[in-house]
Amino acid sequence: MTKPLPRPVDFLIIGAAKCATTWEQKSLSASPGIYMPAPELHFFSREYDKGFDWFNAQFAGANPGDIVGEKSNSYLTQPEAAARIHNAYPSVKMIVQMRDPVQRAYSDYCMLLRRGEVDDDIRRHLDPQKAATERFLNDGRYGHHLTRFYALFPQDQILLLAFDDVATHPERQLQWVADHIGYSGQLTPPLHEKVKDKHAAAVPTSLRRLLAPLRPLLDPVRNTAPLSTMRSLVARPFTYPALPDDLKREIEVFYMPEKSTLIELAPNFQPPWIHVRDRPATSNA
């Protein structure tokens, strides 16, 4: 039997998590001539065993001539993903959107706390002495993760973006992506509201856990009027533990080597969270 080949894919948004990549995906998908599957497929990271028949089927809604892409934040951080992507798509364009890694870690922690997947012991989950290799801190090691991609792909195939520009220059941010993927059509204005608002009321954790077995049935209809009405009746304001100043400083120190690696890989990428003191001194000679 002939092994299925990967269907053509023009671009991949590979991360980072909690850096407005869902905003990016939804804004791009609203433009005519760009097609992206709605959910994250995580194919090259977590679902590779499903094979290309499954992966190819996720793009059945694309029209001939569409620029086709996919977003899965786990591609940046899962070690096997870079080589798998390169084997299938050595010429694919990739987009990486990053934010201050300390803020990213805290935001990721708050998201899982809201979902009831972690407890409120913030030091247990964000202290570099206890959790350096766990998701919240490890996912922000941008330099470490990008090294795998720069070893396989030319630099011009990887577009690095700053989360900060989503708030200040969303149209420009989206245009940079469009230029990178070769889209010459008229971009639909980007979303101007948050895709995920951590300050919105949340279903209590105890009820979330009770409903967890029903998620496969509820998720496809979660945005319908009956479900939205029911949710509004039980949702309550959610309080997050603050990030202590001393813990924030410890996390900043943890990420300093990572910033240096990122500077070496991409010296022209200068988001505001890479401070002047993090950059190597330049010679006047």
Residue 148 has φ and ψ, to the nearest 5°, of -65, -40
- Which pTM does this prediction carry? 0.84
Average pLDDT for 99-121:
94
Comparison of pLDDT for 174 and 200, the residue scoring more: 174
* Secondary structure letter of residue 190 according to DSSP: P
In the predicted model, is pLDDT for residue 7 greater than 50?
yes
| Measured distance CA(207)–CA(223) in Å, rounded | 18
Residues ≥6 apart with Cβ < 8 Å to 25: 13, 36, 71
3-state SS of 59-76?
CCCCCCCCEEEEECCHHH
Between vectors from CA 188 to CA 184 and to CA 192, what angle results, nearest 5°?
135
Residue 279 has φ and ψ, to the nearest 5°, of -95, 145
Q: What pLDDT was estimated at residue 218?
A: 64
HSE toward the beta carbon, residue 88, CA cutoff 13 A: 23
Average pLDDT for 222-245:
74
pLDDT tens digit sequence for 83-98: 999 999 999 999 999 9
Average pLDDT for 29-48:
96
In the predicted model, is pLDDT for residue 285 greater than 80?
no
Q: What pLDDT was estimated at residue 284?
A: 40
Treating both helix axes as pointing N-terminal to C-terminal, what angle do 81-88 and 142-150 enclose, rounded to 10 degrees? Answer: 30
In the predicted model, is pLDDT for residue 195 greater than 60?
no
Domains of the chain are 11-199+238-278 (3.40.50.300)
pLDDT tens digit sequence for 269-284: 999 998 755 555 544 4
Comparison of pLDDT for 193 and 46, the residue scoring more: 46
Residue spans of beta strands (DSSP E) within 119-201:
158-162
Q: What pLDDT was estimated at residue 98?
A: 98
| Measured distance CA(87)–CA(70) in Å, rounded | 17
Say what percent of the chain tops pLDDT 90.
74
| Measured distance CA(36)–CA(33) in Å, rounded | 10
